[in-house]
Structure 1
């Protein structure tokens, strides 16, 4: 039994997932998964969504900072997950 009511599901979710690149409104096709080892536990993953045009630039930005973990098509499992 919980003393706190469950949060209602969000009602303002977009109908489609949009690229995380600044100013881009294209539909996302890729999940760029990352974490900052200075502040996140190793298993935690943050997500940036990317369209085909911005996948490489977002991954390169994170990779140059040592934060890139996986780049996978939307809906795919992380490499090595079972």
Structure 2
């Protein structure tokens, strides 16, 4: 992630993101792999539910507190 203001990942949304949704698709990712979507306050619940019903959602963390996992 860059130093620029993070933008929500919801389609058509250009609001500042305050949340990181860490997820992984177990059919194609190793268990430790984490992909991320960013979410504004208005879309956090919707995006979390979208990932959750598929069994992909691993964590929801405030953007300011997010630390990406260390690589190999």
Same fold (TM over 0.5): yes
Structure 2 residues not aligned, in runs of 5+: 68-72
Q: Does 2:61 match 1:72?
A: yes
- Shift in Å, 1:15: 2.5
**Counterpart contact for 2:18–2:64, Cα < 8 Å:** no
Which of the numbers 22, 42, 56 marks the counterpart of 1:33? 22
Larger-gyration structure (1/2): 1
Q: Higher relative contact order at CA 8 Å, sep ≥6: structure 1 or structure 2?
A: 2
Decide which structure has greater helix share: 2
- Give per-residue Cα distances to partners, 1:32-82, cap 9 Å, x unaligned: 00000000000000000000000000000000000000000013247xxxx
Unpaired runs of 5+ in structure 1?
1-12
Q: Does 1:45 align with 2:41?
A: no
Provide the aligned C-alpha RMSD in A.
Answer: 1.6
TM-score, normalized by length of structure 1?
0.75
TM-score by length of 2: 0.85
How many residue pairs get aligned? The number is: 66
Higher mean displacement: 14-23 or 49-58? 14-23
